[in-house]
């Protein structure tokens, strides 16, 4: 019986952990499979998987054409090692999931196919290499599949799903845009083709239809404006109307329409994804409750001891005082079990009590809200010299330093210092002023350490205190060192000082953060950082694919030579086809696809869009005109689709940040903290007074079985809302719309939800046998 209870507890912990981290993996429920599943989700396993994924991608830096060449045997061994790790990870995943689910999952099939293709290509390439036959490593283009399709990369897959779901709507707009482009190109051919006009380079102007289409497509991106218009404009000012109409229709209307369509579809499909996560979380928590519930009168409840064991399994790093606080919230009346409000119980519907449901289901939300444990310490000086530290002048000084006016004073000093840094550094007065500013900054740090307990001032989360201290003392050290070396007339480290001065100017960010209306923008920027990593992974996938294709198409076609090189055709990037071209005259020779790193730089420059047509024409000149399709394809995928999706996310993030207030769960936690007399009001905590020191493991908030809650030296507060992710806020928006009595659809129905499907309602929850 005890063994069965332990197994149920382990399985319930897996369900709660999945609900907490929004995992939707349908795993086997046997004890061995659950343990394997927990191992699969361990942070070390995930970290190792990402390490080998990025190692596999980075092999392109060491393979021909290489940035840092390594022997073929070395790169082959590393690639085989990565593939074996991927195979092991996939096998591990197969052991914990249901067989029918595993083989129906497209991402698992993609990983197996990618492993097979990579091994096959590696073997073929190795054999041909033995016979000195050059071949293409075509399988390198499938390496990003590992980044996309492993279970850890669900955020990147969600972004790709958004792109896939948005493509049908974009296609219609794109076809209409192409129709407009082709029509304007035809008009341009008829208007200018027979007038014998020439470009600034002396080339025929608008006489080839395909070249006109390309030039006008570039004009849509504004990269060749107004150059493309000037020959016609010089011939007749009336022709400017043609280009003005073209820009208005295609650049402003169609490009804005692209953003509107992308945003509308992105928002629709994002809500569907969030809806799935919300229902999946609730379903997981219901399953966990059904495993742990016991009959109490006419209710099903989870006993306090069982609840504590569950929380300790799910969040082992949580302090006992934090767990006790969460229990006080879940068991508000301290009845000894979670679920205390009586409602008539129906045998067919054991979840008839909405209050019971809420008290347990909210556990995943409680664990996701960061509650900071504050430990109050006495200042060392208060222990060593209590009479001096507690004297009236000392108290007055500390009260002044804690006042907001002190912060404003130093913000003003930072602004003045920024102005002095921008002035003539050769002036002796400016040099003397820098010493004065350094002295003032050092005095600030010393006064703050005198006022605030040092371990609290330099706590783990006190970023700005660490930042200020390091910058100031680095500047002081560099200034003293520079003055000493200058006195010997042997060395001048002014450049180092300039860097330190620039870093000090970055303290201006604190001034921006202290302004209320700017804080929403700062919060949003901080909140979108995790999702920016997702779009960073998305960009990495696109860049890898296009970089590998670009290296195969353009490797060695363009070479870079130093300015004093005597190599033939050095001014033409080593290729006479570029003679007198804008590419060569612009000295763009270093922008080539001769290795993986250079390819990434070129793709970044193409993403910026400016002068991208010069790159396209240059590489088309050294290969063939259809090479321009490569650059057009990259612009469509990266700039029109992915960048617009990123812009859509930024818009949604700002809307959420402006509209959402505290959640109901956060409010419940804060109320309970205040009821226990262990709360700290947010407005009482200045930036320099945050006591976010998590060293409270030895303190406990004991319940009925022990002593009274200890408030001495121990306080709690909700962590700053700026550390909430936008995904979590969006999920909260949808969860607020779900009634407590709504258990949602089954696991299979949740996974098959579409943006237009109605949400199936589950009339009751069947109690397990």
Query: Which of 586, 526, 519, 578 lies closest to 554 in space, CA to CA?
Result: 578
- pLDDT tens profile 536-584: 888 999 999 999 999 999 998 999 998 888 888 888 898 999 988 899 9
> Residue 187 is encoded by which pair of tokens?
């008009």
204 secondary structure, DSSP code:
B
24 secondary structure, DSSP code:
-
Torsion angle, alpha carbons of 743, 746, 751, 757, to 10: -70
* C-alpha distances out from residue 593 to 550, 590, 604, Å: 6, 9, 12
Omega of the bond prior to 226 within 30 degrees of 0, cis? yes
Burial class, 588, CB count within 10 angstroms (exposed 0-12 / middle 13-18 / buried 19+):
buried
Torsion angle, alpha carbons of 113, 114, 119, 125, to 10: 120
The answer to whether the Cα torsion of 414, 415, 416, 422 is positive or negative is positive
- Residue carrying the six token digits 């591990």: 92
DSSP string, 146-214: HHHHSGGGHHHHHHHHHHHHHHHHHHHHHHHHHHHHHHHHHHHHHHHTTTT-B-TTS-B-S-SHHHHHH
Alpha carbon distance 364, 369 (integer Å): 9
Half-sphere exposure of 242 (CA within 13 A, CB side): 22
Nearest-5° Cα angle at 588, 584 to 594: 110
> Is residue 503 a contact partner of residue 470, using CB atoms and an 8 Å limit?
no
320 secondary structure, DSSP code:
H
> Is residue 541 a contact partner of residue 156, using CB atoms and an 8 Å limit?
yes
Alpha carbon distance 143, 119 (integer Å): 12
Alpha carbon distance 154, 534 (integer Å): 9
507 secondary structure, DSSP code:
T
pLDDT at residue 151 in the model: 74
* C-alpha distances out from residue 385 to 275, 392, 447, 728, Å: 60, 14, 17, 48
Nearest-5° Cα angle at 445, 443 to 450: 95
Other CB atoms within a 10 A radius of the CB of residue 108 amount to 19
Alpha carbon distance 374, 716 (integer Å): 6
238 secondary structure, DSSP code:
G
* C-alpha distances out from residue 61 to 146, 306, 551, 604, Å: 18, 53, 12, 17
Other CB atoms within a 10 A radius of the CB of residue 484 amount to 11
206 secondary structure, DSSP code:
S
- At 698, give phi and psi (nearest 5°): -80, -15
Query: Which of 363, 365, 339 lies closest to 353 in space, CA to CA?
Result: 339
Bridge partners for 337 per DSSP: 303
The answer to whether the Cα torsion of 724, 726, 731, 734 is positive or negative is positive
pLDDT at residue 336 in the model: 81
pLDDT at residue 707 in the model: 34
- pLDDT tens profile 359-404: 787 888 788 777 666 666 788 888 899 899 889 999 999 999 888 8
pLDDT at residue 219 in the model: 95
Q: Which residues of the chain have pLDDT under 50?
A: 340-355, 680-713, 720-723, 758-769
Nearest-5° Cα angle at 339, 338 to 344: 160
> Residue 305 is encoded by which pair of tokens?
């001891």
Torsion angle, alpha carbons of 321, 327, 333, 339, to 10: -170
Nearest-5° Cα angle at 251, 249 to 255: 100
pLDDT at residue 604 in the model: 95
Q: How many residues does the chain have?
A: 769
Q: Per-residue b/e over 235-262, b at no fewer than 16 CB within 10 Å?
A: eeeebeebbeebbebbeeebbeebbebb
Strands 371-375 and 337-338: unpaired
> Is residue 372 a contact partner of residue 325, using CB atoms and an 8 Å limit?
no
Identify the helix (H) or strand (E) that includes residue 718: strand 714-718
């Amino acid at each position: 019986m005890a063994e069965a209870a332990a197994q149920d507890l382990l399985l319930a912990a897996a369900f709660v952990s999945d609900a907490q981290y929004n995992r939707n993996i349908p795993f086997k429920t046997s004890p061995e499979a659950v343990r394997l599943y927990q191992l699969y989700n361990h942070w070390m396993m995930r970290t190792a998987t990402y390490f080998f994924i990025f190692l596999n991608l980075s092999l392109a830096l060491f393979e021909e054409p290489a940035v840092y060449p390594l022997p073929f045997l070395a790169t082959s061994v590393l690639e085989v090692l990565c593939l074996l790790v991927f195979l092991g990870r996939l096998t591990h995943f197969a052991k914990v999931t249901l067989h029918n689910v595993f083989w129906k999952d497209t991402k698992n099939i993609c990983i197996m196919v990618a492993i097979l293709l990579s091994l096959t290509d590696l073997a073929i390439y190795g054999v041909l290499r033995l016979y000195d036959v050059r071949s293409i490593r075509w399988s390198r283009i499938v390496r990003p599949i590992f980044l996309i399709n492993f279970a850890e990369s669900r955020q990147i897959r969600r972004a790709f799903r958004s792109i896939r779901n948005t493509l049908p709507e974009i296609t219609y707009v794109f076809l209409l845009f192409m129709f407009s482009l082709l029509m304007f190109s035809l008009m341009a051919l008829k208007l200018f083709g027979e007038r014998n006009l020439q470009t600034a380079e002396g080339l025929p102007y608008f006489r080839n239809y395909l070249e006109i289409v390309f030039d006008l497509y570039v004009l849509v991106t504004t990269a060749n404006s107004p150059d493309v218009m000037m020959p016609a404009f010089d011939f007749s000012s009336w022709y400017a109307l043609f280009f003005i109409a073209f820009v208005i229709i295609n650049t402003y209307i169609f490009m804005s329409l692209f953003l509107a369509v992308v945003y509308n579809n992105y928002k629709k499909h994002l809500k569907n994804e969030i809806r799935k996560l919300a229902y999946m979380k609730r379903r997981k928590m219901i399953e966990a409750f059904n495993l742990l519930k016991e009959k109490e009168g006419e209710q099903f409840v989870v006993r306090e001891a069982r609840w504590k064991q569950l929380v300790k399994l799910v969040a082992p790093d949580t302090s006992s005082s934090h767990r006790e606080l969460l229990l006080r919230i879940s068991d508000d009346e301290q009845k000894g079990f979670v679920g205390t409000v009586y409602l008539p119980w129906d045998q067919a519907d054991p979840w008839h009590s909405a209050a019971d449901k809420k008290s347990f289901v909210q556990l995943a939300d409680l664990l996701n809200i960061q509650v900071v444990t504050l430990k109050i310490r006495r200042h060392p000086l208060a222990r060593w010299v209590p009479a001096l530290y507690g004297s009236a002048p000392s108290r007055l000084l500390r009260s002044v330093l804690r006042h907001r006016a002190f912060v404003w004073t130093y913000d003003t000093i930072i602004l003045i210092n920024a102005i002095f840094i921008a002035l003539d550094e050769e002036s002796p007065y400016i040099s003397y002023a820098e010493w004065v500013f350094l002295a003032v900054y050092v005095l600030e740090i010393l006064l703050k350490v005198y006022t605030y307990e040092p371990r609290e001032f330099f706590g783990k989360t006190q970023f700005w205190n660490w930042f200020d201290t390091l910058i100031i003392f680095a500047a002081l050290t560099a200034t003293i060192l520079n003055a000493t070396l200058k006195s010997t007339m042997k060395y001048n480290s002014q450049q180092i000082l300039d860097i330190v001065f620039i870093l000090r100017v970055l303290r201006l960010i604190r001034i921006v953060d202290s302004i209320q209306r700017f804080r929403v923008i700062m919060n949003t920027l901080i909140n979108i950082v995790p999702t920016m990593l997702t779009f960073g992974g998305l960009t990495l996938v696109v860049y890898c694919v296009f970089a590998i294709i670009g290296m195969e198409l353009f490797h060695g076609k363009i070479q870079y030579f130093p300015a004093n090189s005597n190599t033939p055709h050095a001014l033409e990037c080593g290729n006479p086809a570029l003679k007198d071209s804008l590419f060569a005259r612009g000295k763009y020779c270093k922008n080539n696809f001769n290795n993986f790193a250079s390819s990434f730089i070129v793709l970044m420059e193409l993403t910026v869009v400016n002068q991208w047509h010069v790159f396209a024409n240059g590489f088309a000149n050294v290969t063939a005109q259809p090479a321009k399709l490569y650059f057009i394809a990259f612009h469509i995928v990266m700039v029109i689709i992915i960048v617009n999706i990123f812009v859509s996310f930024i818009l949604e993030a700002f809307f959420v940040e402006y509209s959402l207030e505290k959640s109901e769960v956060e409010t419940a936690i804060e109320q309970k903290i205040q009821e226990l007399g262990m709360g700290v009001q947010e407005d009482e905590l200045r930036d320099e007074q945050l006591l976010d020191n998590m060293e409270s493991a030895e303190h406990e908030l004991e319940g009925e079985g022990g002593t009274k809650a200890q408030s001495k030296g121990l306080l709690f507060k909700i962590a700053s809302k700026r550390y909430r992710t936008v995904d979590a806020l969006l999920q909260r928006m949808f969860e607020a719309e779900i009634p407590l009595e709504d258990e949602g659809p089954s696991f299979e129905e949740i996974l098959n939800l579409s943006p237009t499907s109605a949400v199936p309602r589950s009339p009751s929850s069947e109690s397990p046998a």
